[in-house]
Amino acid sequence: MKSASQEPTPIIVRHALVAWRPAPVGEPAPGHLWRWELAPLADGGTRVTHTYDWTQLHDEQRLPRARATTADRLAASLDRLATRTENG
């Protein structure tokens, strides 16, 4: 008996945005926004832009950590994402 198989249908996302405002359960968001923006590249890859916006953050206890979130830390996060997606 021969089994029939079907090729998976690729899902094509032209442009995607994933964003969230973290907050403790049951509390209002303190004002920071994390965002991943995905855009397709001609070579079949994906450009990922990682943004951390804390311009609306007014919680004094969170400001030191927000200020410590540098471009280098965001780049390291992108590197970890790339490693995980490239290695399956």
pLDDT in tens, 6-19: 454 444 555 788 88
For 38-60, what is the mean pLDDT? 90
For 51-62, what is the mean pLDDT? 92
In Å, what is the CA distance from 28 to each residue of 11, 22, 57, 59, 85?
35, 9, 12, 11, 33
Note the pLDDT of residue 88.
Answer: 64
| Assigned token pair, 46 | 């994906």
Note the pLDDT of residue 64.
Answer: 94
Query: Which residue spans within 1-88 are E strands per DSSP?
Result: 16-20, 33-40, 46-53
